[in-house]
Structure 1
Amino acid sequence: MYKDYALSETLFHWESQNQTTPESPVGQRYQHHARQGSSIMLFVRETQTNEAGTSPYVFLGPVDYVSHEGSKPMSIIWRLRRPMPPTVFTAASTVAPSAATLDA
């Protein structure tokens, strides 16, 4: 399962596929998308499932690369160009690791 979560209404932590490295073509595309003239669009689910089955995606719009850590997978921080709706932020931030977990 990917570790994707909101850090704030305008910052989102996103985990790449397991084989992605910063040096790979995909990793390079993530890091340099703006310079290369491409856009990254962020879609999220507020929950995995709902009463109808699989939850639909919510389109949060274009994002810009901020930073990354690690490799295989890369943990990337994206900056949303528009703040996410408060209900989406509440749902997306509840899966973020706690500060105690991050310090461990």
Structure 2
Amino acid sequence: MGKTSVGDKAKTPSWREGVLWVDSEKSDICAFTLDKSEGNFSPTTRYRDYAISRELIHWETQSLTTEDSQTGRRYRNHVEQGSSIMLFARENSGERAFWFLGPATYVKHESERPMGITWKLDVPLPGDLYATFAAAVA
């Protein structure tokens, strides 16, 4: 057996797409940046993600996701399939930390490639965080 250093244990998998399916937890982790005016966002990654209200979040999938793709069906049917959607957001790309918005439930979607999904948060955003998020996309 080889030795494992502390540094090896601290490594995290490469993750740059903003969505991670964690099979062992049956959860989709969705992390997004609200203000995309800074940073390295290409025209194809300037998704329209924003708080509609304290309870509702508009989030766009990756650009090739369709409603009938495996991923699109997983998002739409997550309750019936027993999986969870966990949302994380940050105001801008200069922030390293994300706010954990909590679990969310699919409400509806519009269009495809990307799908514009409306999620309902299990716990509404605090008023001050909602104001910060609204200002980030104004």
Deviations 1:84-103 (A, max 9, x none): 1222211222316xxxxxxx
Bigger relative contact order, structure 1 or 2, given CA contacts below 8 A and separation 6+? 1
Structure with greater Cα Rg: 2
Question: What residue number does 1:100 align with?
Answer: none
Deviations 1:2-34 (A, max 9, x none): 210000000000000001000100000000000
Q: 1:81 aligns with which of 122, 128, 131?
A: 122
Question: What residue number does 1:58 align with?
Answer: 99
Question: What residue number does 1:101 align with?
Answer: none
Could you tell me the percent identity over the aligned residues?
48
Question: Stretches of 4+ moved more than 4 A in 1?
Answer: none
Q: Secondary structure at the match of 1:3?
A: coil
RMSD over aligned CA atoms reads: 1.2
Question: Which stretches in structure 2 are left out of the alignment for 5+ residues?
Answer: 1-45
Q: Secondary structure at the match of 2:108?
A: strand
Contact 1:46 1:88 in 2 (8 A): no
**Distance in 2 separating the partners of 1:85 and 1:91:** 10
Q: TM-score of the superposition, structure 2-length normalised? A: 0.63
**Distance in 1 separating the partners of 2:58 and 2:116:** 7
